[in-house]
Structure 1
């Protein structure tokens, strides 16, 4: 790009390697809903299939019990439990409740399973499948499902398709089996060379491993804006926001400004869009910074509202058990940098990451309910 500047100072290289790293409703609105003619559906058919829920979630307690809750305009909602997100195989009928209701599933009601998925079927409109967000991996506590979020156009991000996590270098045999049982077939590693060498992923045979190094120098040391200017701006904004970690305040805008990161996040999103063998998991070391921005980009592309994207980002504090694992100002600085460089988020996706309309549409077709 004409705005690209080459920076060769060792200090900036070290900064990049050690940094750890406005919703367009929905993003790419000019192209996101272009459905090829061969898959187009009549408006009445789409309306009949539309998921009518405005809120829905499943929570699992330590004793194995579940609590389901939802809000919808339906008169009644019936609930069936399945061992997979597709709802195939034998299901367990759990009963029904009102259109806005809750259903308790006591411990022992369901046979032992790695994970239960609950299909909520309203008396009109399409069903919605929910499950608990945490993957229940003790050695990777930030391992969680990216699904279960409602978009600005009323659709839902499907559970069981994409997972985010911290490093998975210490998985037990049982935890590896759990990954396979949930159909995970692709692992995308966002970490740098030294992190990968020190803590290589421990994944079972049958899961493909790919690297999408956010700090890679494979494509040179190039930035869209002068790096010194981005550095100065990030430090100033970090001080003004009261950031507890100026290194992170600096790292987030550089994930947008550094061209090597563009290639990494493009590879991640393309991998998710084209993985036709199962679900995808991606991660960095703590699963909160590079993984946090990658998740924010994915969810925004899918049309998830900004406040929901921010809530998912901040949830790393809960899963990691640290109040300051992430701060909202860090994420917002990355979104601000995308707006500053490209004018809006959609242009960042198209011109910065280089994702074409077909890939964006493939993500939406794969990960969203009708």
Structure 2
């Protein structure tokens, strides 16, 4: 993430995050660095892309990863198909899983885990998963504009810095620009393309995740569902579900920051801590502007050929 998108601090200026802030980020906030969302009211669907009601994706029932879910039941266009149960999963970070929760990953048949987190995120909160399930790291981040340092600076700087970085609509614009970056940055595209190929070629179901499971994971889900022919409304329905899934733990995140005196106006963080259909709109708009169509984005932007798409459909879509 470069200076092209969102309000940032001077990239060359050293930023030291205090122990108190680090403790909040990795403890109370459960890695706020990766934008854990709070409960926000989902934006209403625009007339041309209704948020359709569909069977909710089944939870993996992981209390310590509340956004972990099976993408089953989501319909695809034509032929009455839908995503097969247990064929692909999305999640927030798996760094808190106990033994019983790890066993649920084995019971679900998960053959591989894809981790989109940066080295900093993984280092602060390494996944706790069974040794029998391989983890492939495909980090989606910009080392020249580390989200960890940005959020740490905002929290540590106090109310005036938070207002400067996030107030007056800056936070929402930050997120809109970030979702454009997910499409326009060549390295980010390369990682998402590699993830699509991993899912197609894996010996069994794949689980992909970042930390909150809402932005990078949300866009990856949108890519996958679009490639499989899911209606736009169903894609947005899946995307916005992160708000509900994470509502309880996310409120505790902000309550903890306020209790520690690190934040006095929690509303400033709402745009960067939640999902909003405008963000996903920004990614799809960037696809159209840069590639002309989603099919071109798949082939030219992600390097996904027709044979890979056919394999995905054969593996993930049933009746």
**TM-score class, shorter:** 0.5 to 0.7
Unaligned segments of structure 1, at least 5 residues: 1-6, 22-54, 60-131, 222-237
Matches for 1:113-152 after TM superposition, within 5 Å: 133-152=58-77
- State the TM-score, normalized to the length of structure 1: 0.58
Moved over 2 A (4+): 9-14, 18-21, 242-247
**Contact 2:34–2:211 (CA<8 Å) still a contact in 1?**
no
1:287 to 205, 213, 219: 213
Residue 247 of structure 1: aligned partner: 174
Alignment partners' CA distance in 1, 2:193 and 2:115: 13
Q: Give 1:247 deviation, angstroms.
A: 2.3
The correspondence for 1:191, drawn from 101, 105, 117, is 117
In terms of Rg, which structure is larger?
1
Q: Which residue, out of 294, 297, 312, partners 1:363?
A: 312
SS in 2 for 1:269: helix
- SS of equivalent to 1:255: helix
Output the TM-score relative to the length of structure 2. Answer: 0.67
The CA distance in 1 between the partners of 2:54 and 2:213, in whole Å, is 25
Compared with structure 1, are the counterparts of its residues 329 and 166 closer, same or farther at alpha carbon in structure 2 (3 Å cutoff)? same
Q: Report 1:17-36 matches (<5 A).
A: none
Specify which structure has the higher proportion of helix. Answer: 2
Indicate how the Cα distance of structure 1 residues 252 and 138 shifts in structure 2: closer, same or farther if over 3 A, else same. same
1:258 Cα deviation after fit: 0.4
CA contact (8 A) 1:170 1:202 kept: yes
RMSD of Structure 2 on Structure 1 (CA):
3.0
CA–CA distance in structure 2, aligned partners of residues 329 and 351 of structure 1: 25
Does 2:207 match 1:207? Answer: no
Deviation at 1:10, TM superposition (A): 9.6
- Kindly indicate whether the alpha-carbon contact (under 8 Å) linking 2:34 and 2:121 is maintained by their aligned counterparts in 1: no
Residue segments in structure 2 that go unaligned for 5+ positions in a row: 14-32, 37-52, 146-165, 252-269
1:352 to 285, 288, 301: 301
Is the CA contact (8 Å cut-off) linking 2:112 and 2:134 kept in structure 1? yes
| Local SS of the residue matching 2:318 | coil
Q: What is the number of residues matched between the two proteins?
A: 234
Is this contact kept in 2: 1:186–1:279, CA < 8 A?
yes
Q: Quickly say closer, same or farther: Cα 1:294–1:11, change in 2 above 3 A.
A: farther
Q: Which structure: greater strand fraction? A: 1
Q: Deviations over 1:187-232 (max 9, x none)?
A: 1000111101111111102101101111266xx99xxxxxxxxxxx
